[in-house]
Amino acid sequence: MKTLQFRQAIAEAMSEEMRKDESIYLMGEEVAEYNGAYKASKGMLDEFGPKRVIDTPISELGFAGIGVGSTMTGNRPIIEFMTFNFALVGIDQIINNAAKIRQMSGGQFPCPIVFRGPTASAGQLAATHSQAFESWYANCPGLKVVVPSNPADAKGLLKAAIRDNDPVIFMESEQMYGDKGEVPEGDYTIPLGVADIRREGKDVTIVSFGKIIKEADKAADELEKEGISCEIIDLRTVKPLDYEAILKSVKKTNRLVVLEEAWPFGNVATEITYHVQAHAFDYLDAPVVKINTADTPAPYSPVLLEEWLPNHKDVVEAVKRVLYK
């Protein structure tokens, strides 16, 4: 094992795959000369040159479309958005082209493309730069959606995403790029659609993903001091969703809390809640509790932002609620 920052794990994953396959290229704003807006492509221009690490104008619709079209001529692009908030400008290419090419061509054209960049809030970035769209993309057939929470998962999942023959939405976080963690040496991948039992427990299941899962970790540590044992599941992949891992855990603990940084209406937590009540109703000893942001645009004020975001105190309260404590 070696210790890497999250951004280094991302860069390693892309570089290792590009060394093996000349059809892979990276395109986006500031990915080349500036080494990436978050330094997640540091050194890649020097190694692979300007034909495979390509800076673009501020034109998400344009370079998303170039990426999608290039898959039809045998390429495997990685398209970086400076944030998925900006991907809204190019979402027509993602939803109406990337997600549908395979079906609309009768299987003649797969679309092996990765759209990657940060999602959700990252401090005081205000309403239009703090949005989480995982559930939007997961709702669209034809797309896979990956949201890693640590460097080791980021590298293994990104390599799997790059090798996948379908379009993958790979969502990171500005607030995680500096996170450090142990990463296996050598070549490895993590299969898409397989959750990780991050912490084993017996009293309650907590399901989460992405950077907000750190709040679940804090809550579990605090609750352990009170004799409450929490099992934490890191989804890692939102679509396909590892329903089996969730159901197996709930059948053991009989209680479920879902933590997600997203608006409360129609999100990933809603889908999980429905699936559990449909397939494990008789195992539940309490109603499922889901924890989300407030149902408003993200505020700029630090005081309001702290109130808007879920935190470990919310998780502690939710766990005690399902335990009737």
- Going from N- to C-terminal start, the domains of the chain cover 2-183, 196-323
At a CB cut-off of 8 Å and minimum separation 6, what does 264 contact? Answer: 290, 292, 293, 295
CA-atom Rg of the chain in angstroms: 20
CA 304 distance to own-chain centroid? 25
User: Residue 34: which pLDDT band, with cuts at 50, 70 and 90?
Assistant: very high
Query: What pLDDT is recorded for position 284?
Result: 98
pLDDT (tens digit, 9 = 90+) per residue, 241-271? 999 999 999 999 999 999 999 999 999 999 9
Q: Which CATH architecture has domain 2-183?
A: 3-Layer(aba) Sandwich (3.40)
* Residue pair 62/56 in contact by the 8 Å Cβ criterion: yes
Has this prediction a pTM greater than 0.95? yes
For residue 27, give the 3-state DSSP assignment. strand
Using one digit for the tens of pLDDT, what is the confidence trace for 284-314? 999 999 999 999 999 999 999 999 999 999 9
The catalytically annotated residue of 129, 134, 260, 312 is 129
Spot the catalytic one: 12, 17, 29, 60: 60
CB 128 within 8 A of CB 299: no
Residue 231: pLDDT band with limits 50, 70, 90: very high
Tell me if 2-183 shares its fold with 196-323: yes
Q: Is 129 a catalytic residue?
A: yes
Could you name the CATH architecture of 196-323? 3-Layer(aba) Sandwich (3.40)
Helix (H) or strand (E) holding 289: strand 289-291
**The pLDDT of residue 135:** 97
Q: What is the mean pLDDT of residues 88-93?
A: 97
DSSP output for 125-189? --GGG----HHHHHTSTT-EEE---SHHHHHHHHHHHHH-SS-EEEEE-TTTTT-EEEE-SS---
Helix (H) or strand (E) holding 61: helix 60-71
Task: Give the pLDDT score at 25.
Answer: 98
Q: How high is the mean pLDDT of the chain?
A: 98
Residue 215: Cβ within 10 Å count = 22
Percentage above 70 pLDDT, the chain: 100
Q: How confident is the model at residue 161 (pLDDT cuts 50, 70, 90)?
A: very high
Which pLDDT belongs to residue 17? 98
pLDDT of the residue at 211: 97
Query: In a 3-state reduction of DSSP, which class is residue 58?
Result: coil
- Which residue's structure tokens are 């700029």? 300
